[in-house]
Structure 1
Amino acid sequence: MDWLQIFVLSIVQGLTEFLPISSSAHLILVPVFTDWDDQGLVFDVALHIGSLSAVVLYFRHELVGMTASWCRSVAGKGCDEDARLAWWVILATIPVGLAGLAFQDAIEGIMRSPLVIAGGLIVFGLLLAYADWRRRGTRNEYHLSWQDALWIGLAQALALIPGTSRSGITMTAGLLLGLNREGAARFSFLLSIPVIVLAGGLEIVGLVGTAGPVDWGALVAGALFSGISAYLCIHFFLVFIKRIGMQPFVVYRLVLGIALIWLFGGSPS
């Protein structure tokens, strides 16, 4: 891998992991529009480590409070709002974990088609637009019920379809359930932590037993670039949506989806 490929893939992963525009779609499309060889699972793991480090660092204070309160709740010492939020993150992660195990083969096959990506970008982009236009809730992530968390978790399972966007579909569900924009986004970002851990774990399992040289410089650079871009993305996104909302991302999704249909509509790939 050359440094341009490392930089581009890292920035794409770091930015799109948390924006409602589908990171999987963009990572699939990069090799479609370039002549680069597949970056391989080892580099994918490095990119996920960078994104994971960014979200953990950004929400470090919340995570410390959630973890401490969750442990107290397990020990039977009461359940405050931090403990409930931790439980809701766990609950909302279960559907996507089960769906990933059940439909992994389908996801790795035809669902990686550019036309499938285009459909996901357009359909779920329009749903995000509706949720942002019509439902202006006042609750934040600490006011979720277990039913809300479960619905958001079920919606998150749809993100296994490339083009849907994990962050996009969970924010859409949160908005439809009455969360404000910041609350929907923050819960989506917290949900990304166990999802990235699970995805990275599956990739590591795929590496077990494989042998070959490791380009440590590329891995460290990829994780670093991915982490920095992801951290900045989280910070500025939360500021951005307070003022403007989700509509610019909806427009981007629609334009990209239509472009993919135009480029690949006559191709079986």
Structure 2
Amino acid sequence: MSWFHAVVLGLVQGLTEFLPVSSSAHLRVFSALAGWGDPGAAFTAVTQLGTESAVLIYFRRDIADIIRAWSVSLVRPEMRKDPNARMGWYVIAGTLPIGVLGFTFQDTIETSLRDLRIVATTLIVFGVVLAAADRMRAVRYAKPLTELTFPQALGYGFAQSLALIPGVSRSGGTISAGLLMGYSREAAARYSFLLAIPAVLASGVLELFKIGEGPSPAWGPTLLATVVAFASGYAVIAWFMKFISHHSFAAFAVYRVLLGAALFLLIALGTLAPGAGAID
């Protein structure tokens, strides 16, 4: 991977990580269209350390309050009813599904699931799911995040685990789950970002050991892409949280469906092979 490729892919990662459009799909599709090799799951996971650093900074007060309350609740039982203490437990519980499924199906995730036909299918299907969830939420009472329960936290977690399939989108899956459970757009997005922290950090650290080995990109370009992803990702978070306070997710749903349809068309015309750009 060249330095130029690293900058471009880091920018793609940062611009799409927090939007419900699937950053892994965009990295996969963009690389195929440009005639570049698939950057691979390891590159994606490590550059997500950059975007997740943006989450840590943007939500630093929320995170500090959660860690503080959760830590105190371990020795003071009366604190376990505190919303921030409960949120700490909910994030831990919601992380379990993706941890178990990610470890169990790691080889499949890094190989056959990166087929462009699968990417196109998940873009369209979950674009429709997002649109339906957003429309259902609009006609019901929108719950604040303080009403989150343990079973719902697990539901969020299973929705997050679907993002192991390129094209689903971590934020898209969890936000859709939140909307279907009746939470407001802002609440669904906020918990989606908080829930992603442990899984993304753990995945990124584990995949660090694969960088520079085999087909994975070298350390230099990967680190540059991670820095670019952090800067662009922070800007996107700030914009996205303001955007959804006044707008629906309809535009993102339409974009997903159109992108998936365009990808199927390119494959049908022979412009792209299903495994185009894939790592050998």
Give me the TM-score of the superposition, normalised by structure 2.
0.88
Q: Tell me the equivalent position of 1:21.
A: 21
User: Secondary structure of 1:29's match?
Assistant: helix
CA 1:129–1:50 in structure 2 vs 1: closer, same or farther (change >3 Å)? same
Q: Tell me the equivalent position of 1:244.
A: 247
Q: Tell me the equivalent position of 2:31.
A: 31
Q: Distance in 1 between matches of 2:206 and 2:65?
A: 28
Q: Tell me the equivalent position of 2:101.
A: 99
User: Secondary structure of 1:125's match?
Assistant: helix
State the AA in 1 paired with 2:237.
I
CA 1:30–1:179 in structure 2 vs 1: closer, same or farther (change >3 Å)? same
Q: Distance in 2 between matches of 1:170 and 1:213?
A: 30
Question: 1:109-120 residue pairs with structure 2 within 5 A?
Answer: 109-120=111-122
Q: Distance in 1 between matches of 2:200 and 2:178?
A: 20
Q: Are the aligned partners of 2:116 and 2:274 in contact in 1 as well (CA < 8 Å)?
A: no
Q: Tell me the equivalent position of 1:169.
A: 173
Q: Tell me the equivalent position of 1:222.
A: 225
**Equivalent residue pairs, number:** 267
Instruction: List structure 1 runs of 4+ shifted beyond 6 angstroms.
Output: none
State the AA in 2 paired with 1:236.
W
CA 1:113–1:37 in structure 2 vs 1: closer, same or farther (change >3 Å)? closer
1:109 deviates by 2.3
Q: Are the aligned partners of 1:51 and 1:227 in contact in 2 as well (CA < 8 Å)?
A: yes
User: Secondary structure of 1:139's match?
Assistant: coil
User: Secondary structure of 1:36's match?
Assistant: coil
Q: Distance in 1 between matches of 2:168 and 2:44?
A: 20
Q: Are the aligned partners of 1:135 and 1:178 in contact in 2 as well (CA < 8 Å)?
A: yes
Question: 1:84-233 residue pairs with structure 2 within 5 A?
Answer: 84-136=86-138, 137-207=141-211, 216=220, 218-233=221-236
Q: Are the aligned partners of 1:91 and 1:149 in contact in 2 as well (CA < 8 Å)?
A: yes
CA 1:83–1:105 in structure 2 vs 1: closer, same or farther (change >3 Å)? same
Structure 1 unpaired stretches of 5+: none
Q: Distance in 1 between matches of 2:128 and 2:39?
A: 32
What do the CA deviations read for 1:10-51 (whole angstroms, capped 9, x no partner)?
111112111100111111112211233455777546522211
State the AA in 1 paired with 2:198.
P
CA 1:56–1:138 in structure 2 vs 1: closer, same or farther (change >3 Å)? same
User: Which residue among 78, 82, 85 is the counterpart of 1:83?
Assistant: 85
State the AA in 1 paired with 2:157.
G
Q: Are the aligned partners of 1:85 and 1:141 in contact in 2 as well (CA < 8 Å)?
A: no
Identity between Structure 1 and Structure 2 (%):
42
What do the CA deviations read for 1:193-233 (whole angstroms, capped 9, x no partner)?
112112213312435988x99654x4443222111111111
State the AA in 1 paired with 2:66.
M
Q: Are the aligned partners of 2:10 and 2:226 in contact in 1 as well (CA < 8 Å)?
A: yes
User: Secondary structure of 1:182's match?
Assistant: helix
CA 1:209–1:236 in structure 2 vs 1: closer, same or farther (change >3 Å)? closer
Q: Are the aligned partners of 2:28 and 2:39 in contact in 1 as well (CA < 8 Å)?
A: no
Structure 2 unpaired stretches of 5+: 276-280
Bigger drift between 29-38 and 237-246 goes to: 29-38
Q: Are the aligned partners of 1:115 and 1:261 in contact in 2 as well (CA < 8 Å)?
A: yes
State the AA in 2 paired with 1:167.
S
Q: Tell me the equivalent position of 1:69.
A: 69
Give me the TM-score of the superposition, normalised by structure 1.
0.91
Q: Are the aligned partners of 2:39 and 2:217 in contact in 1 as well (CA < 8 Å)?
A: no
Q: Distance in 2 between matches of 1:233 and 1:176?
A: 24
* Cα root mean square deviation, aligned: 2.3
Q: Distance in 2 between matches of 1:165 and 1:43?
A: 17
Bigger drift between 52-61 and 156-165 goes to: 156-165
